[in-house]
Structure 1
Amino acid sequence: MTIKTAEDLFIHELSDIYSAEKQLTKALPRLARAVTDPELSAAFETHLEETLDQVDRIDQIVERLGIRLKRIKCAAMEGLIEEGKDAIDGIEKGPVRDAALIGGAQKVEHYEIASYGTIAALAKQLGYKAALPLLLETLEEEKATDAKLTRLADSGGNAAAAAA
């Protein structure tokens, strides 16, 4: 896709995060099953529900703005998900794997935070008032998930991994 305008960039970035979210909906159930900490498993399951809502919000943005997303695959999310698979395959189930998956999930959250922040800034500049609240809602959810993962790591995940 040739990007020539801010609107082209907005559509490209929205298409990219749409792909990322769709990939994540397939990866999160696998993560929830791969961990031993029930609170971490529940956090992954909760984030799956949020991710499905986020995909729906992108669909709403597309409808409200009358735009078409591009059929692209988010290579960054693909790589982050592959790292998670490597951790699942390469680390015995237990606290060390849980800690690795918390770290991997936070990488995902940071990518999503950067993406939604960028897209929201573009929406604001382009005057897409119908899209901005939906984007900001998702951005806040991503920040909250990152904070929850930090709490899980701090409240025992990393200590359990260090003791293992």
Structure 2
Amino acid sequence: MSITNLKELFIHDLSDVYSAERQITKALPKMARAATDPKLVEAFKAHLEETQGQIDRLDQVVESSDEIRIKRMKCHAMEGLVEEAQELIDSVEKGEVLDAGLIGAAQKVEHYEIATYGTLAALAKKLGYTQAAKLLEETLQEEKNTDQKLTTIAESAPASKTR
């Protein structure tokens, strides 16, 4: 696919993040089952619900303008991040070390999403998609809040006895 203008870049990035969010809805239940810290389990479950709402919001972005159409594609970046989380689940014994790894894996996802939604909101504004920009900024704020929640959980976890 050859991208030649900002609208095409916007459509590409929107399509990419749509794929990313769909992949996250499959990964979060696995991460919740692997986690042992009750706050972390709850954070993953809450983020799954939030992610489903974000997919709905992406649908609203598409519906906000006749010019916006999502293309079918796979977000390879998210695929890699999800694979990393699965490798942790497969190779680290359940407990505080795995929980710490899962927090890190989830924050990598959040940082990717923060960068993507920030870019999309800016492009939407520049292209005059006012309603889309508002919806994307709402999701951006949710992603930042989730990242902060994960940091709080990590910082409140008890220190390991076996460092």
TM bin (shorter chain) = over 0.9
Aligned to 1:56: 56
Q: TM-score under structure 2 normalisation?
A: 0.97
Aligned to 1:92: 93
Matched residue type, 1:86:
E
Runs (4+) of structure 1 exceeding 2 A deviation are none
Deviations 1:90-112 (A, max 9, x none): 00000000000000000000000
Matches within 5 A, 1:1-164: 1-66=1-66, 67-156=68-157, 159-160=159-160, 163=162
Unpaired runs of 5+ residues, structure 2, are: none
Unpaired runs of 5+ residues, structure 1, are: none
Matched residue type, 2:97:
V
Partners of 1:23 and 1:77 lie apart in 2 by 7
Partners of 1:131 and 1:63 lie apart in 2 by 9
Query: Cα offset for 1:53?
Result: 0.4
Alignment root-mean-square deviation, CA: 1.1
Query: Cα offset for 1:163?
Result: 3.8
Matched residue type, 2:137:
L
**Aligned residue pairs: how many?**
162
The percent identity for this pair of structures is 63
Deviations 1:80-136 (A, max 9, x none): 000000000000000000000000000000000000000001001111011011000
